[in-house]
Amino acid sequence: MFDPGFLWGAATSSYQIEGAVAEDGRGPSIWDTFAATPDAIQGGDTGAVAADHYHRFPGDVALMAGLGLRGYRFSLAWPRIQPTGSGAVNQRGLDFYRRLTDTLLDQGIQPWPTLYHWDLPQPLEDRGGWPARDTAERFAEYAALVHEALGDRVTHWTTLNEPWCSAFLGYATGRHAPGRREPAAAVRAAHHLLLGHGLAAEAIRGDDSHVGITLNLTHVTPVGTEPADLDAARRIDGMQNRLFLDPLLRGAYPDDVLADLREVTGFGHVHDGDLKRIGASLDHLGVNYYAPMLVGGSSTPTQSAYVGSPLVRVADGGRPRTAMGWEIDERGLLELLLRLKDDYPAVPLYITENGAAFDDVVEHDGVHDAHRVAYLDGHLRSCAQAIGHGVPLKGYFVWSLLDNFEWSFGYGPRFGIVHVDYATQHRTPKDSARWYAEVIRRGGL
Ligand code: FCB
């Protein structure tokens, strides 16, 4: 069961909710550039206004307090703080996060900041982006600046959100900013993201500063027992989970994944000492879980985010799906948590994202999102079971507090437990918000 100190929270990210992209000295990010590219985002949507959280944060924090949230995971927009990605601090940008943090603390809500949730300053992309080693160094510098400003009020830091997405959706499939399709660059990006995390951890870690990273992990199973299916499962697990978990928790890349990736690139970009840094960096691990993956071998090569593994296919597990088309299976979360406990050195775990998009209907008396309640309830049951099995799970952040800009899908998918009317910016807590508030109040299910 959940102990009394369990951190019940909700999560958002800067570009998805803030808007105000040209205010108070914020520089352009790769997502501003990408969103302005024809056909990159459904409906031509952009984060220019989003949920207008930059102006409405006091009301949003009051809403969180009303729900009884104990923690709030948000991200800082690097281009607000260093508009060109390096050099002096833009104090007006930093002040926004000072005010947000203070407002949270006033309400007894623990600030849980993520330093990077994908909005890289455009000038750094112009100099090579994450495939360039220099970006890792710049990230550590930025982390130190933020830590200097907020280190007296923040105890738990997350460096990166989902480096897998930054690397492979950003630089291999081009579905995310900056929209490049260069598999070898994606592999370099993955390493430099991990290195940036390691360097940032060195810069900010201390007695009162605990450092973590958030990974999007999944539970992978093969469709059958054919060697090609087993190999597909090994490869996808390798790319999605072990490529990040092994360097972070064991200080080495997995040999089989390196061998798969040699089809794409050499590893000259991994310098002596990098893995030592990366492997010594974690005080806790953030896990984002949405859906399991069922995979099999394929005879037709496809280009996907799984570079170096063209002969794999994702199969249909036959389960109900969310509005994103993601299969609903809370069992996958339990399996994932047990696997982390069995295969890796113990480190406190936090679910930093879990949630679902559904086609919500606004009725005269609210938003009755029974599907979302069922999804969250099922996944929290898996969390409780995992804790029962000895998994050191310390907190849970629902994705998301607010409906928001869902990247290349624009404003279509709604993940919030609070509905946002984008025309009026009116917020309406959905049934799931009320349900979650009750779970928090009771300290469990
Ligand atoms: C995750 C992202 C988050 C949100 C959810 C649905 O991959 O971290 O920003 O888009 O998916």
Instruction: Give tens-digit pLDDT for 99-114.
Output: 999 999 999 999 999 9
* 218 three-class SS: coil
- What does the alpha-carbon distance between residue 362 and residue 146 come to, in Å, rounded to a whole number? 39
Q: Which numbered atom of ligand 1 lies nearest the CA of 324?
A: 6
Question: Given 3-state DSSP classes, what are the helix, strand and coil percentages for the chain, each rounded to the nearest 5?
Answer: 40, 15, 40
Ranges of residues in the chain whose predicted pLDDT is under 70: none
Residues contacting 207, CB < 8 A, separation 6+:
none
**What is the CA angle 378-380-386, rounded to 5?**
110
> What is 34-76 written as a DSSP string?
HHTSTTSSGGG--SSSTT-HHHHHHHHHHHHHHHT-SEEEEE-
Which numbered atom of ligand 1 lies nearest the CA of 161?
8
Q: How far apart are CA 356 and CA 206, in angstroms?
A: 35
**Helix H or strand E encompassing 161:** strand 156-161
Tell whether domain 7-211+237-290+324-442 is in CATH 3.20.20.80: yes
- For the entire predicted model, the pTM comes to 0.98
- Both tokens assigned to 354: 């879990």
pLDDT, residue 280, reads 84
Token pair of 161 as six digits: 């959100």
Q: In whole angstroms, give the CA distance from residue 224 to residue 6.
A: 39
Please tell me the distance between residue 11's alpha carbon and the centre of ligand 1 in angstroms: 10
Name the residue with tokens 């590219």. Answer: 37
Question: Is the shortest distance between the CB of 13 and ligand 1 below 6 Å?
Answer: yes
State whether the beta carbon of 415 lies less than 6 angstroms from ligand 1: yes
Could you tell which of 406, 411, 414 is best to mutate to test the pocket of ligand 1, judged by most ligand atoms within 8 Å of the CB? 406
* pLDDT the model gives residue 250: 97
* Sequence-separated (6 or more) residues with CB below 8 Å from residue 226: 296, 297
Q: Indicate if ligand 1 lies below 6 Å from the C-beta of 403.
A: no
**Which pLDDT value is given to residue 303?**
92
Q: Which residues does the annotation mark as catalytic?
A: 162, 353
Q: Tokens for 280, please give them.
A: 């010594």
**d(C-alpha 65, C-alpha 67), whole Å:** 5
User: Residue 161: which of 30, 285, 3 has the closest Cα?
Assistant: 285
Does the beta carbon of 407 sit less than 6 angstroms from any atom of ligand 1? yes
Q: How far apart are CA 377 and CA 103, in angstroms?
A: 29
Residue 55 CA to residue 435 CA, distance in Å, equals 27
Q: How far is the CA of 175 from the centre of ligand 1 (A)?
A: 13
Ligand 1 centre and the CA of 352: distance in Å?
10
The reply to whether omega before 400 is within 30° of 0 (cis) is yes
**Would you list the domain boundaries of the chain?**
7-211+237-290+324-442
3-state secondary structure of 128: coil
Cα 179 to Cα 18: distance, rounded to the nearest angstrom:
22
CB 245 within 8 A of CB 286: no
216 close to ligand 1 (CB < 6 Angstrom): yes
Closest by CA to 10, choosing from 382, 355, 282, 358, is: 355
For residue 163, what are its two tokens?
């480096």
DSSP 65-125: HHHT-SEEEEE--HHHHSTTSSSS--HHHHHHHHHHHHHHHHTT-EEEEEEESS--BHHHH
Distance 70 CA to ligand 1 centre (A): 21
